[in-house]
Amino acid sequence: MPSISVNNCQLHYTRNSVAAQRPALVFVHGAGGSGQDWPYQWQQTSVALSRGEPRWITDYPLYFLDLPGHGRSQPLARRTIEEYAAGVAAFIEALGMRQAVIVGHSMGGAIALTLGLLQPANLAGLVILGSGPSMPVSDVILDGLAANFAQTVGLIMKFSWRKEARPIYREVATQHMLAAGSEVVHGDFAACNAFNVQARLGEISAPTLVVGSTTDRMMPLAQSEKLAAAIPGAQLAVIEDGGHFMMMERTNEVSAALLAFLKMIQAQ
């Protein structure tokens, strides 16, 4: 697993072996997560490339980042969405990406939206999964993460996954959040609670795809619809029965939406 020093923090990430002739995708996980919170098949490094027009997500350069204080990246975790976004921008710059599409899930979506407002020169597009223009968190969650951490993580996972989801998915996501620890996870959810860019969404000029699920109980589909309506030119992809971790429960559908969006960017 490679790492790079960014703003005096050693950031770990995984990537595939695709050269950078096409836009690079930088995957940014949610609160208390890690770069492993994305479909396993996207993270394979041995997949044969399509000849000519790309046919799979793995035909693009893919980077799966552990945010500071998460996964194998060094502490300390950041305290605001803006601080996380600045770190992701520095990560992209340090790796010399000329065209980067930020794919953010949940808190990662808030980070991606903030990058859209920062408008770095190498930003080629945004993909926002299970997020919204604001991300209010109940006191039950915030207080519980400080006082009854493991129990509250269980509550979060209950609402993040459908009952029909494969148990291993929920178990792995739970392990990642527990491993991050109470201080980091509470800080992440507090950062989400303070996040609100509703009044500034019209400033985002990067091509944007918003992905929401009909059965997301953490960030209801209405929030994705609100985002897509407020960002100029944004596209909305609705995933049926995907839960909050729709990219895990409905990988093929999310992959198809993402691939169509990437082709659109390249055609512009």
Note whether 246 and 213 are within 8 A (CB). yes
Share of the chain above pLDDT 90, in %: 85
pLDDT of residue 51: 67
Question: Residue 192: which CATH number?
Answer: 3.40.50.1820
Length of the chain in residues, anyone?
268
d(CA 240, CA 129): 13
CA distances in angstroms from 205 to 120, 122, 123, 134, listed in the order given: 11, 13, 10, 19
**Domains in the chain: how many in total?**
1
pLDDT of residue 46: 58
Given a cut of 80, whether residue 53 has pLDDT beyond it is no
pLDDT at 47 over 70: no
Q: Which of 18-22, 127-131, 214-218, 223-227 has the lowest mean pLDDT?
A: 18-22
Q: What pLDDT, in 10s, does the model give residues 147-185? A: 999 999 999 999 999 999 999 999 999 999 999 999 999
* pTM above threshold 0.85: yes
Q: Which domain holds residue 245?
A: 3-267
- Give the model confidence (pLDDT) of 214-244 as tens digits: 999 999 999 999 999 999 999 999 999 999 9
pLDDT at 55: 80
Place of tokens 């552990």: 66
Q: Other CB atoms closer than 10 Å to residue 18's CB: what's the count?
A: 18
